[in-house]
Amino acid sequence: MSKHSPEQLQIFLDVATEAVMAAGAILQERWGKLTNIEEKSRPGDLVTEVDRLAEAEILKVLRRHVPEHQILAEESGKLGELDSEYLWAIDPLDGTTNYAHGYPVAAVSAGLLFEGVPIVGAVYNPFRNELLRAASGLGATCNRRPIQVSQTKELSKTILVTGFAYDRRETTDNNYAEFCYLTHLTQGVRRSGSAAIDITDVACGRIDGYWERGISPWDIVAGIIILTEAGGKVTAYDGSPLKIESGRILATNGQIHNSLSKALVETPPLANWNS
């Protein structure tokens, strides 16, 4: 249970909302007008001027309202009061590769942790015009209407979503085996290219479960509180408590959590499939 009053949480939620909506307006305004697309240190890890402009807008909002808080931003790293118990994890454009290619699947994400625990989150998807929000104990909404996870109980009847890390070309720890294995065990596995959209789609009941590796805190902090407030469950792959900095997450409707966790742990290596 949060140590904060509902009034305090609502203030933080309003700040998060202002931040993602301001950044989302930039995504909309610049759609189809990119002039600079760069590759970061890893192949396929793109950054555009829109990432930087949107992040600057979020930082402006946070510095105006909560200058005493610490910030972890995808493009700028750690900023602000580094000894603060509050940490904002922000992704100004989650789905940069999609956005850069003109594929309309991307979102803005802003989540607040207190002593390492997510307490507030807002995700804005400008292409669906959906604003997803939650705060600890206050429930989760999409465009101000309450949301809840699906009630699917059998893994064989689920639809799942996942993603692939940028270093998938260089490492065997790349999620390919899980993707193939779970495609066989379920009604389908999707890949959107945006972790914020994936986890909030589980919160909305559109998807039954999500797992991924190689992700960063700014990808998932907002989504974690939105999903848990919608009745979902978030852990490590093996069902143990999630370590946000681990880069791995399992997020489900709660009903299939154990069976999906078991399947992830038991996934055979791809090399064994034809033996």
Give the pLDDT score at 9. 98
* CATH 3.40.190.80 domain range(s) in the chain: 155-268
- Tell me the percentage of the chain whose pLDDT exceeds 90: 78
d(CA 151, CA 80): 41
Nearest to 198 by CA among 188, 182, 209: 209
Helices then strands, each counted (H, E), the chain = 7, 15
118 confidence band (pLDDT: 50, 70, 90): very high
Smallest CA-to-CA distance from 125 within 82, 156, 93 is with 93
Report the Cα 77 to chain-centroid distance in Å: 17
pLDDT of residue 104: 96
Confidence of residue 275 (pLDDT cuts 50, 70, 90): very low
For 164, the token pair is 């692939």
CATH topology of domain 6-146: Fructose-1,6-Bisphosphatase; Chain A, domain 1 (3.30.540)
For the chain, residues classed under CATH 3.30.540.10 are: 6-146
**Among the listed residues 14, 212, 11, the one whose alpha carbon sits nearest the alpha carbon of residue 94:** 212
212: pLDDT strictly greater than 50: yes
* Single pTM value for the model: 0.93
CATH class, range 155-268: alpha beta
Q: What is the mean pLDDT of residues 5-16?
A: 97
Q: pLDDT, tens digit, for every residue of 127-175? A: 999 999 999 999 999 999 999 999 999 999 999 999 987 655 555 567 8
pLDDT band at 107 (very low <50, low <70, confident <90, very high): very high
Q: Which pair of structure tokens corresponds to residue 149?
A: 């996870």
Q: Once rounded to an integer, what is the mean pLDDT over residues 261-270? A: 90
